[in-house]
Amino acid sequence: MPQRQYGTAVVDVDAEGFMTDPSRWTREIAAAIAREEGIAELTPAHWNVIEHMQKEFRETGQAPSIRRLSKGSVVSVKDLYALFPGGPARKAARIAGLKKPEGCV
């Protein structure tokens, strides 16, 4: 299984770079993944989405899709695309240390 190093942490990832063990996730890892995704700094709005995704994952065992994310989140779909350009559910899930949401290509 491939591994990635984020700061001092080395974590297992799948072929697309999603962490395979969400329990290893830290805010420092999230910041490093965000930089890889082209997000220089995670703002409070980013953290709200990330925390919501993790809550959904704990409750359902799956990362939420863009539809579920926008319905239960604190931001609109438009804002999700502004915060996580080029695929908000996919990018947010990766930053949150979760597997790729079902339905994402």
Q: Dump the DSSP string for the chain.
A: --EEEETTEEEEB-TTS-BS-GGG--HHHHHHHHHHTT-S---HHHHHHHHHHHHHHHHHSSPPPHHHHHHHSSS-HHHHHHHSTT-HHHHHHHHTTPPPPTT--
Q: How far apart are the first and last CA of the chain?
A: 21
* Catalytic member of 13, 45, 77, 104: 104
Q: Are 42 and 31 in contact (CB under 8 A)?
A: yes
Which domains, ranges and CATH numbers included, belong to the chain? 3-95 (1.10.10.370)
Segment 42-89, tens digit of pLDDT: 999 999 999 999 999 999 998 888 888 777 667 888 999 999 998 898
pLDDT over threshold 90, residue 5: yes
Q: Closest by alpha carbon to 13, among 73, 74, 97?
A: 97
Quote the percentage of the chain above a pLDDT of 90: 70
pLDDT at position 103 = 65
- The model carries a pTM of 0.91
Q: Is 104 a catalytic residue?
A: yes
